[in-house]
Homo-oligomer: A and B are copies of this chain.
Amino acid sequence: MRLSQMLFVTLRDDPADAEIPSHKLLLRAGYIRRIGAGLYAYMPLMWRVLQKVSQIVREEMNATGAQECLLPQLQPAELWKESGRWDTYTKAEGIMFALTDRRDSQVALGPTHEEVITYVARDMIRSYRQLPQHLYQIQTKFRDEIRPRFGLMRGREFIMKDGYSFHADEESLKKTYQDMYQAYSNMLRRSGLAFRPVEADSGAIGGSGSTEFMVLAEAGEDEVLYTEDGQYAANVEKAVSLPADAEPSPFTNYEKVETPGTETIEKMCTFLKCSPTNVVKNVLYQASYDNGMTVLVLVNIRGDQEVNEVKLQNELTKVASQYGASALLKLVVPDADAQSKWAAKALPLGYIAPDLTDDHIKSAKDIAPKFLRLVDKTAVDLKNFATGADTAGYHVVGANWNEQIKLPDITVDVRKARPGDRAVHNPQQTIQSARGIEVGHIFQLGTKYSQAMGATFTNEQGEEKPLVMGCYGVGVSRLAQSAVEQSYDKDGIIFPVAIAPYHAIICIPNISDAKQVEAAEQLYTELNKAGIETLLDDRNERAGVKFKDADLIGIPFRIVTGKALANGKVELVQRKTKETQEIAIEDVVPTLKQWIQEAIK
């Protein structure tokens, strides 16, 4: 392609609303244009990158025997009601766009396709003889994001490959899951990315095991916890670890002490001269379920620890049926507004005891008709601990479970693991932290959707069983941007060769110089003929502008038909290293061929 004929416009300055380097660079280099909040036009260069990523994804998927298809983007609400996800996806924090069509039917814009594919499978799969099956698609998805940002990272439209597999048993699922683990690793490696597979929470998708593929980058929205020995890596939402041991308690006798102005753990420990590890901290939440039920939740946790809200949500989801609900819609964390509501019900915030009295529960009934207490495992082992006395300005010290305060039979893990903790698999290993961009996520769904939607098959024994499912997603547009986030310098993007829009760019320093033009045109023809995708910068611009643009858009190899032509040579510049060499014209094609092969092998 000739730049003179391309719709090619670069910006000198960083666009105002772009927050992270890759977003700024993609806008400045003209790869994307903003059309609305979280909505971007993929311009011709970007589209080439996305096509290359898609092709790598497709090749890796096909190699596993998965079959490409395309499912509708509009999805009838009935399917989501069958699976039980309509409310969670459309109400409260729901991120699904929904609309009413001209016949007054509700339809949704697909953020994911478990329902549609299960509907197809229910229709088509009857017997174990048809299994396993794995269908995938590469498609634009929609999410009504609360705060679209970071360009393609968190857009309202994004391109995803999503695949769904169907199995007769868990063993077959696990095999495909392993194949996908490998295929996803291959995709990211072939795209030229540094990444890490991590254990992950399954979130609204559900199922048992799941792995996220994290591209490592400072601007990543996710925190990954890992150990140096490479034996453990998990999303912080899912991570487990061993906290530091509690210090010995300075308290020997149980007593209620006046502790004015000590609403925080820090103030209280200073006042009582104890460690936060001697404290049972009691945190209030409010949970809303899909049947309208609201539950007041009190978590007991060791004073130096934080509650992991994702783990807490999972616990609250597990008990949904106790409240006649099928899904948790929303967890209200104790913000100022919630706190003042609770304080108005005479809950002594900052001094709450590990359990609420019947009076408190009763007085808070119009906020939440039900009450649930959850005790984190970190609180269980404490002896002679300090905690709230259920009276403003007072704490108790030297307390013990089942002496002054009842300990329920069931305790939970709702604790946030953090760097510096010891690893569970080997306490010698210390937990480390890194930032990551979640680019892929693979799930062992099990029978969650097939059971809800009645997608069954007849097994070898002639019994009707629900299909065992897996699902596997990779963000194609997100992967493309994460490559930029991982690879740029002060002059612009440094695209990995495998997904760069073009391999090479020929710059003609002076288009009035017939010799320069002639050499460039000839190379342009030869390179493209040799399968080396080449841009020709034949614009009537100064050489400096052309070099700046070539650097900004990040084409791996730049060829300059300049002064060296006198010696039958051109200048060859590697974008990544800025290494420059003069090379005989006839050596350009074989040299680039070799460099490209080495880069994408």
Contact = CB atoms under 8 A, between A and B. Distances in A.
A86 interface: no
B140 A73 contact: yes
A99 B101 contact: no
B41 A72 contact: yes
B41 A68 contact: no
A75 B37 contact: no
Interface stretch (A122-130, A169-177, A272-280, A306-314): A122-130
Contacts of A135: 7, 44
A1 B39 CA distance: 38
A594 to B, nearest CB: 27
A109 B36 CA distance: 13
A489 to B, nearest CB: 26
Contacts of A101: 97, 144, 156
A551 interface: no
A546 to B, nearest CB: 16
A183 interface: no
Contacts of A105: 36-37
Contact of A7 (B73, B125, B142): B125
A42 B72 CA distance: 8
Interface string A6-33: 1101000000000000000000001001
B50 A123 contact: no
B72 A157 contact: yes
A37 B46 CA distance: 34
B124 A33 contact: yes
Interface residues of A, number: 57
A98 interface: yes
A322 to B, nearest CB: 30
A41 B116 contact: yes
A64 to B, nearest CB: 11
Contact of A9 (B5, B41, B124): B124
Given A41-B116, A135-B44, A140-B140, A71 B35 contact: yes
A43 interface: yes
Nearest to A78: B36
Contacts of A68: 44, 47
A73 B41 contact: no
A125 B9 CA distance: 9
A94 B588 CA distance: 57
Contact of A75 (B33, B35, B98, B140): B35
Nearest to A41: B71
A413 B76 CA distance: 44
Interface of A: 1, 5-7, 9, 30, 33, 35-37, 39-44, 46-47, 50, 65, 67-76, 79, 97-99, 101-103, 105, 107, 109, 116, 119-120, 123-125, 129-130, 133, 135, 140, 142, 144, 146, 156-157, 540
Given A41-B70, A43-B69, A99-B99, 7 more contacts: A7-B133, A35-B120, A36-B74, A44-B69, A74-B97, A97-B99, A102-B146
